[in-house]
């Protein structure tokens, strides 16, 4: 495999933001729909842009709900976010070996920067494509295509790694190889139904897949 570029989703892939995201959704939904939502009910909202999740619930108050979510999310960010096991070491190795590394996420840039800085992963990435940078979020290929353009890479040289079906479908739509992560909160079996080329049980497995000694 002639891979020289690796693109990663951020939340749920490199950094564990699940508790932060879930509590932010529950905080918001409790405000607008008291006693109607439990933890398992909000798993469906993880992955898509906030607008897509909230507009389906309330078209009139979608912006207000997004603001409520973001205020809670920012206030609790550093308390609840941590990296997954093996991520820092794997990304550091890829960086040292000269691979081109990028983030492709549906988050806004300010919270992306916070997560990368908190986990000290910010030093390794050449390109970070956020929701601010595109018109169409994953699974549309636009964010991946933008990252590839900025990195000077082609789909044939690239693998997209993510925890959500949006990541796998975006990679397929852009023509890259794809890898799911078994630690996805929605379950490995669910992610496998979208047929990623690889399923990582541990981030370090990526090294052997692309041929790093």
- The residues annotated with a catalytic role in the active site are 9
How is residue 133 annotated by DSSP?
A: G
Which residues are paired to 7 by β-bridges? 102, 160
Between CA 12 and CA 165 the distance in angstroms is 12
Q: Which of 40, 87, 54 is nearest to 187 (CA)?
A: 40
Count the Cβ atoms, other than its own, within 10 Å of residue 164: 26
Between CA 167 and CA 164 the distance in angstroms is 5
The two tokens of residue 164 are 């959500």
Strands 158-162 and 177-181: parallel
The two tokens of residue 82 are 């941590």
Between CA 83 and CA 110 the distance in angstroms is 18
Report, in angstroms and rounded to the nearest whole number, the Rg of the chain calculated over CA atoms.
17
């Amino acid at each position: 495999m002639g891979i020289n570029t690796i693109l990663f989703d951020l939340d749920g892939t490199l950094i564990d933001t699940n508790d932060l995201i879930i509590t932010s959704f529950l905080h918001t939904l409790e405000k607008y729909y008291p006693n109607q939502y439990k933890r398992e009910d909000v798993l469906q909202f993880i992955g898509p842009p906030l607008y897509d999740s909230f507009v389906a619930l309330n078209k009139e108050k979608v912006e207000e709900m997004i603001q409520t979510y973001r205020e809670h999310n920012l206030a609790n960010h550093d308390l609840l976010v941590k990296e997954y096991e093996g991520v820092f070491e794997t990304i550091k190795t890829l960086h040292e070996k000269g691979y081109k590394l990028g983030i492709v996420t549906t988050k806004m840039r300010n919270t992306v920067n916070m997560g990368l800085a908190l986990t000290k992963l910010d030093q390794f990435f050449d390109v970070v494509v956020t929701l601010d940078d595109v018109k169409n979020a994953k699974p549309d290929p636009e964010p991946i295509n933008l990252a590839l353009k900025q990195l000077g890479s082609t789909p044939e040289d690239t693998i997209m790694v993510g925890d959500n079906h949006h990541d796998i479908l975006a990679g397929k739509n852009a023509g890259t190889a794809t890898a799911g992560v078994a630690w996805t909160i929605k379950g490995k079996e669910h992610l496998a139904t979208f047929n990623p080329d690889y399923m990582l049980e541990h981030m370090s497995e990526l090294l052997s897949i692309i041929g790093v000694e």
